[in-house]
Amino acid sequence: MESLLEKWDGESAVARYDRPTGTWMFIAIHSTCLGPAVGGTRMKSYPDPTTALRDALRLAAGMTYKFAVPGMPYGGGKAVLATPPHLDPEARPDLLRRYGALVHQLGGSYRTAPDVGTSSEDMNVVAETGAPYVFARTEAAGGSGSSGPATALGVFTGIQVACEHIFGDADLAGRRVWVQGTGSVGGGLIEHLLEAGARVLFSEVDERAIRHFRDGLGLELVGNEDESAGGMTGASGAASVDAIATECDIFSPCALGGVLSETTIPRLRCKAIVGGANNQLATPEDEGRLQARGILYAPDYVVNVGGAMAGLAMETRGLAREAADREVIESVSRVLKHIFERAESDGITTGAAARRIAEERLAAAG
């Protein structure tokens, strides 16, 4: 752990061991340059505490860029609750309350919301001890609810921008779009795509979801044979190694990360990648591999900002959901167009362009 913190460029990290459950709690605050750090609470099992801390530090840095690129007044943070493999469900509420107390002790320098492994219902419990620094509680509890629909809206907007950039027209009618993962983001994205007349393909491992999208809606299922996909498998969707070669206009990863790698990129048969999953690139070098193949990449944290943007707008500025959604559409469209233009004018990858924009904003703020 010491070597991770020595090399990290963030501001602070908090570690606490929850003895009653055997859970390690990590809160990483990467930057408060633009405002208080905001980030989700990830709850899952890890091989060891060091791996969990590494995840928190990496994700917190990503949140800094997610907010800096569109110019939102927040910094980047992330929390990881590294639970034992078989956490007693009855112990979960008290664990969340102890975590909420830790968030409250930080006095607002870190503010949290759901992430992988947690939900709006969990935030209701965290808020019992962590308020007022807890967002995205259920609507019944006074929060903005699930971030999935607004995230899906941002990804859909990103797909329109990518199509306009590639084809000269944002119209999605007849475009083949492959959505990997049909959870709250992927499922919502599919609804938008179908309304726009796109030809939707999907990948999924959950049998109930497969029945809904394939048998109920008549969509084409792209392979889900096993979990040896070289980075193509996620908790809410999967595709086999062979499936990665599926021909489409847009590939939209909406499960977990690491789907774009040295192994999968040479096999891609798409013109652009615009997805809601975090950390889609297995390594930083994969940006260059995509560029070399002429595949347009929309940086994930640029197009999946919608959930955080809408939720914060509703809870901190009192915007109605419709107004918050309009902000998501306008922001993602404006920022992504700027990134594509900057990448072309500067002769760099779209990821590098996004980072330059973020770093310029951070530098201007001191």
User: How far is C-alpha 85 from the chain's CA centre?
Assistant: 24
Tokens 């809206």, residue located = 153
Contacts of 320 (CB under 8 A, 6+ apart): 314
User: Which positions ≥6 away from 331 have C-beta within 8 Å?
Assistant: 70, 305, 309
Residues in CB range of 249: below 8 A, 6 or more apart = 163, 175, 176, 177, 270, 271, 272
Question: Which of 7, 78, 271, 337 is the catalytic position?
Answer: 78
The amino acid occupying position 69 is V
For residues 60, 65, 66, 72, the Cα torsion angle rounded to the nearest 10 degrees is 110
Active site residue 78: yes
**How many whole angstroms separate alpha carbon 12 and alpha carbon 176?**
44
Residue with tokens 């947690």: 118
Nearest to 66 by CA among 294, 313, 335, 363: 335
Instruction: Point out the residues that are catalytic.
Output: 78
